[in-house]
Amino acid sequence: MTGTSRVLLIAIPCLVALSWGSQWLGAQQPVTLPPAQVGLVTHVIEQEGRPHTVVVADVNRAVVAVYHIDPLSGKLALKSVRNVSWDLQMLQFNSESPLPEEVRSGLER
């Protein structure tokens, strides 16, 4: 058997399989997933010698709450709660330099 024959013997079945597979995949119905039901997202920050910080975000309501937990006593203290929906609509808010327009102008040079 020559080298060309071997290549054809391998290539033809592969091409047929690819052709059949692509037709089969094209006939499949797209998968429809239910909308995500994300409720609360949490993040814990542990710091040596300081209260642990727990951030709880309610994704559906765009509300963030911050708690401190004393690692020795387990005491939980609510520090702040804020609706961030208006915050996230601002185009920019910086209390220190560089401001976004300064960064943009530096990149355009």
Would 76 be classed as within a structural domain?
A: yes
Would 49 be classed as within a structural domain?
A: yes
Would 8 be classed as within a structural domain?
A: no
Would 56 be classed as within a structural domain?
A: yes
Would 2 be classed as within a structural domain?
A: no
pLDDT bin (cut points 50, 70, 90) of residue 98 is: confident
Would 53 be classed as within a structural domain?
A: yes
Which residues span the domain enclosing 61? 40-91
User: Which residues are paired to 43 by β-bridges?
Assistant: 55
How far is CA 53 from its chain centroid?
22
For 51-97, what is each residue's pLDDT tens digit?
999 999 999 999 999 999 999 999 999 999 999 999 888 888 877 88
**What is the tally of structural domains in the chain?**
1
Would 51 be classed as within a structural domain?
A: yes
Decide: 72 and 52 in contact? Cβ < 8 Å. no
User: Which residues are paired to 76 by β-bridges?
Assistant: 69
